[in-house]
Structure 1
């Protein structure tokens, strides 16, 4: 007997005819040029939801008459969006998922044993269609035409000898930065606390906290670290901790993904667009291949997670579907044939939008991740500039001076002053392991006149050696770099990541002030005990009040405000020096001009927010 449902759309009658049948009765279908129409997205969602609540498997029919009965095992709905996953009713070795909303759905049904696949998509009317597609449409890395000769034994031997070398400046500025230091490799997290989580399920290649097959814990750490590096510009917590994944999945399955390590050799693969569902990718161990486990598995993991985030291969050149990169610049797209660049000394693997001249895929990878999949960028850690932190003798230490280029529009500014002529020796390194950042650094005067610039060729770092500077105020500006041209080289499109600095600056004086914008909080401020940091705010004529706030959860930052000159501990217009880093100063009827905000670190603080608000 047919069971009819109500579909609240203009296609209600057609949808009911197509979707009302359960397993006992084949569904009526409408044929379209691009597959079989199944009715409205909202109607299909409701039918699958009812099936998940205990009814029989919903049976749909493909264009060739093949019955497609699906069994829903996971159904998650939040904020009008759904994530649905399960399998073919009659085949355990199968995979089914849909995600989207009442207007747009996309997903796949795969019968692995038969190597058959069907794709679900929605047209402009909100009508869902299903059509047969090659298996490689679902799993791009199962393209049977791929030539394994690109991963010859000789190439893999080179890869084994050329894995990245850690910068000496990589000092754990973020959880995923720096060499292995005896961490529990089953509890790793790159962005603790983020609601967006990607789980590297290593259970099958571990015995408790010990890796199998002679793989070291350092190998496992670097495999995780490499994936974390490639996604560090996003608020995505790449983790090996199942409890973290389970908690995030319970809160919102739509913000999670999973890839399973497998304890055997094979070709790794992952279903396209499966982030936000429980459909997992597969990452084989390949211990006999000869390459460094942490580097090789890490690159492969980053690539496969890319498919799950929705990205296809970057093709072109002689590599066909897998672009081999540009050797002259030691650059290649991570969604291309990254193996070909494994022997490069200063390899750079990044996301792409197909700017190189032979590109066959113009997808905007960053847009896919941040807009289509909705994973946000990291917040800017240097909005209005920071003073260059100097230790005794003018030492520039990487533990104090570092940051992140989160977007390709980001520039980080560090200010410094010289009371007399001085000399700068400085190196700026990318500090991630499987890096994406090519550092471009510029020295300018406070007025913006360029003094020097460095972007070392095929080196990824910037460097100033014995740079003579006259007395005055300066800015050090750091951004993502580029080499060659976008057509033959790479742009700054995804030159993203963490960096740190090391060097010396002679004849340095009190740091110049950091400008504040009224009503805009300046976050991520930090300082060590005893140091002063100065900020400035312009107060126009006729203003009634100036309020300055410090907000911090650690250390002890004291607040001083001066009119027309920098305040000190004994000379100020207003002060607030309680025992915490939460302070407020109010100046009523301020005179027009520049007010200076001085923050003294009575005890070392970090993550401080400074905000000045002028009332007209």
Structure 2
């Protein structure tokens, strides 16, 4: 749901202008123990939304500005505080007492004040070349009016339900006590300086040491105001900052307590949240916090407010109010009716939505209204990360597949790592090696106020699931695992998960986001890595073992390997290392096989000097390490084939005579790596020749036909082959005689392509342009993945791989998109081959 359309009360405005200002006052709910559950009986039910009255035209923006400015000019000569006529209907005019006015240019003005003679009233009206926005609020009579303008600058005023402009009747509950001295001390000289994401695109300031509100905002009827300090200890400031930081951790925003950091951001990319308990009686009497909806984009430093200094209640209120400034509405219930749900009527759940009232629950999340009887189902994450506020999500910090897994740092037997789950579908993969024995790992979110409910999955080096580890229920967000593993390389997947049933006693994984750390131990040993890189030649200097995986510059540096600092390397048998000149596996490359390289100075492999040149690298199974010759004695044969052992691969001895309809199956053939394999058949034929086909798992995976020529004699051997793409795994391999008849000497399967000892790869601009010209959208996708390309996709072939590299969908013709509705949620890779173009790989999220 887009900002401005939430059922709890936003007014839809023309897309080219900011959404109508909406003032929200958050009920200050706070208590201790079971008393919180009793507060619901005292909550006022939200008013029923009434249809808006007909809009009344006020003419053009320029004419309205001239009219109001003339009234101010005429009136100011007679009295100190001028008034203006605020017409809301043909026969109804309010007299607005102007407490602040500002000339915004020839066609602009800002007016703020109150309705003369009407207690508990206010108005604010901004008119400039960007549009018109404003409102009139009459709290006592439950009336409200909003101002908007169309593309041509024609202004209208319209009476609306007051609950679509300001939330009322949410007083502080009985029994809440502020910490002694809160909001009474003078501004402190210094506040502990904290930042959650230095250099982020946007900024949120927790302002706890007092604030001089300038005149001209919508607060205090447009008057200036000096907000007192919250008088918080550094420890409480730290705790509140931790809570708010973790709530906004997925986004490209820096939560800070430092005024100088805040001032370094442009006005339309920052929000000040003033924490000042002593200001509640002036800004919003009885409230726990207050904010104007969508004010993050106002570009005038209008702040939001929190009137509690307790870290938990004040922190929940701060996230809630900043959420309003980013366009979010309340999370309430329809039955029982409540404006802010606390989930206190369900003692079995430990969760509440941030945009409800999360004071009483240990776990709070952003929400999309999945709980029972939700008053609205807007997508909090999509709204805040959308283009309206220009924040977006943080970049994914770890690969969503084993192919790019980040190696856990090792110090002796100790392992460590960490990361961030920043989107619902994000899964972070890590690799580690062990010499064999007990492996213990703990994965923890932040020490307090965590949002990420963690599930960990442990996989073998070939992708087999060893176990899923989760500590469910009761607000237990962390997880530990212990497993007795053999020597080798393993993978750890970290994911956010759900708890219970979102409709009754739990939550989905939608808002289970945030930071995590990994710590533990695994016995070191000879299997600590399939390759070892050294700082100096002749295998001397700092040595770092590396298991199979991809290592960007950041991944190398996390293991203590500096940029351009590798001089020699050892490689275990059956593996190879590809060194790259640039980060992210680009630029010139050098492939080093199991012979290793004792000195990359004047490289003996013939690819010039590679000393201190490596910026990223890959450790992988050697391309030519796998070769398997299949003999008849290992196969199951049907249809009367004569079977003989193949003892002479060079000729003479038959494996057997193959006739049309014969089917041979070899069980449990292990293909160690994902990639391209060549299937070779050595055959001899008389006059007929024929066709042979191959498959895996009784035809579940088809490799198609291979033509067998007539060799002219039953002992005149020839070799035919077919190249196929296959995911790593163990399969039953079969061949089937489609037609003809021949002697079959052997069948051989080989990993295609010898390992290149040295490669200087250069991609021409034309090739890069052709590759980059393919775009997949929408991303994330729900049902149909669409493709946009500079070249024709007619006749193209596609393959979709899951995070383990397994093919889950394939076909021909992607011109009209690809139906992915049957795929499970997760990360996928699209491999596209179209005529005359290089293969293209694109990643997308379902």
TM-score tier after normalising by the smaller chain length: 0.5 to 0.7
State the partner residue of 2:774: none
| Aligned 8 A contact 1:98 1:108 in 2 | no
1:491-530 alignment runs, 5 A limit = 491-507=508-524, 509-510=528-529, 511-515=546-550, 526-529=557-560
Partner Cα separation in structure 1 for residue 109 and residue 595 of structure 2: 60
> Which blocks of at least 5 consecutive residues in structure 1 are unaligned?
1-31, 77-82, 161-182, 287-292, 342-346, 537-544, 552-558, 586-590, 598-611
Question: How far apart are residue 132 of structure 1 and its match?
Answer: 3.3
Partner Cα separation in structure 2 for residue 68 and residue 414 of structure 1: 66
| Aligned 8 A contact 2:114 2:121 in 1 | no
| Aligned 8 A contact 1:324 1:338 in 2 | yes
Partner Cα separation in structure 1 for residue 230 and residue 413 of structure 2: 49
| Aligned 8 A contact 2:409 2:558 in 1 | no
1:12-91 alignment runs, 5 A limit = 33-38=53-58, 44=61, 61-63=87-89, 65-67=92-94, 73=102, 87-88=112-113
Classify the secondary structure of the residue corresponding to 1:219: helix
| Aligned 8 A contact 1:440 1:481 in 2 | yes
Partner Cα separation in structure 1 for residue 246 and residue 127 of structure 2: 27
| Aligned 8 A contact 1:567 1:596 in 2 | no
Output one character per residue of 1:419-458: Cα deviation in whole Å (capped at 9) or x when no partner: 5x43221111111632211111111223332111112112
Partner Cα separation in structure 2 for residue 84 and residue 569 of structure 1: 75
> Which of 275, 280, 292 is the equivalent residue of 2:303?
280
Partner Cα separation in structure 1 for residue 296 and residue 340 of structure 2: 22
* More displaced 10-residue stretch of structure 1: 524-533 or 407-416: 524-533
> Which of 326, 331, 339 is the equivalent residue of 2:359?
339
State the partner residue of 2:322: 305
Classify the secondary structure of the residue corresponding to 1:357: coil
| Aligned 8 A contact 2:65 2:127 in 1 | no
State the partner residue of 1:324: 342
Confirm whether residue 416 of structure 1 aligns to residue 422 of structure 2: no
Taking a change above 3 Å as real, the CA distance of residues 88 and 485 of structure 1, as seen in their structure-2 partners, is: same
Taking a change above 3 Å as real, the CA distance of residues 308 and 387 of structure 1, as seen in their structure-2 partners, is: closer
State the partner residue of 2:269: 255
Taking a change above 3 Å as real, the CA distance of residues 263 and 324 of structure 1, as seen in their structure-2 partners, is: closer
Classify the secondary structure of the residue corresponding to 1:340: coil
Output one character per residue of 1:73-104: Cα deviation in whole Å (capped at 9) or x when no partner: 4969xxxxxx99652488899563669996x8
Q: What's the C-alpha RMSD, in Å, of the aligned pairs?
A: 4.8
| Aligned 8 A contact 1:95 1:279 in 2 | no
| Aligned 8 A contact 1:119 1:130 in 2 | yes
| Aligned 8 A contact 2:408 2:431 in 1 | no
Classify the secondary structure of the residue corresponding to 1:322: coil
With normalisation by structure 2, the TM-score equals 0.49
* Larger gyration radius, structure 1 or structure 2: 2
Question: How far apart are residue 526 of structure 1 and its match?
Answer: 3.1
Question: How far apart are residue 592 of structure 1 and its match?
Answer: 5.3
| Aligned 8 A contact 1:565 1:595 in 2 | no
1:213-232 alignment runs, 5 A limit = 215-232=232-249
State the partner residue of 2:225: none
Taking a change above 3 Å as real, the CA distance of residues 99 and 440 of structure 1, as seen in their structure-2 partners, is: farther
State the partner residue of 1:187: 193
Taking a change above 3 Å as real, the CA distance of residues 93 and 119 of structure 1, as seen in their structure-2 partners, is: closer
Taking a change above 3 Å as real, the CA distance of residues 423 and 136 of structure 1, as seen in their structure-2 partners, is: same
Partner Cα separation in structure 2 for residue 443 and residue 46 of structure 1: 69
1:412-491 alignment runs, 5 A limit = 412-419=428-435, 421-431=436-446, 433-458=448-473, 459-488=475-504, 489-491=506-508
> Which of 239, 254, 262 is the equivalent residue of 1:245?
262
State the partner residue of 1:96: 124
Question: How far apart are residue 248 of structure 1 and its match?
Answer: 1.6
Partner Cα separation in structure 2 for residue 50 and residue 393 of structure 1: 78
Question: How far apart are residue 46 of structure 1 and its match?
Answer: 10
Confirm whether residue 389 of structure 1 aligns to residue 414 of structure 2: no
> Which blocks of at least 5 consecutive residues in structure 2 are unaligned?
1-51, 74-82, 180-188, 213-227, 281-285, 530-545, 572-577, 619-751, 768-846
Question: How far apart are residue 461 of structure 1 and its match?
Answer: 3.5
Confirm whether residue 118 of structure 1 aligns to residue 145 of structure 2: yes
| Aligned 8 A contact 2:85 2:93 in 1 | no
Partner Cα separation in structure 2 for residue 567 and residue 84 of structure 1: 74
State the partner residue of 1:554: none
State the partner residue of 1:138: 165
> Which of 353, 370, 373 is the equivalent residue of 2:368?
353
Which structure has more relative contact order (CA 8 Å, sep 6+)? It is 1
Taking a change above 3 Å as real, the CA distance of residues 593 and 107 of structure 1, as seen in their structure-2 partners, is: farther
Partner Cα separation in structure 2 for residue 388 and residue 50 of structure 1: 68
Partner Cα separation in structure 1 for residue 355 and residue 121 of structure 2: 27
| Aligned 8 A contact 1:378 1:406 in 2 | yes
Question: How far apart are residue 255 of structure 1 and its match?
Answer: 1.6
| Aligned 8 A contact 2:135 2:144 in 1 | yes
Output one character per residue of 1:521-580: Cα deviation in whole Å (capped at 9) or x when no partner: 77676324469999x9xxxxxxxx9963049xxxxxxx984344595563675665559x
| Aligned 8 A contact 1:62 1:68 in 2 | no
Classify the secondary structure of the residue corresponding to 1:275: helix
With normalisation by structure 1, the TM-score equals 0.65
Classify the secondary structure of the residue corresponding to 1:484: coil
Matched residues, number: 484
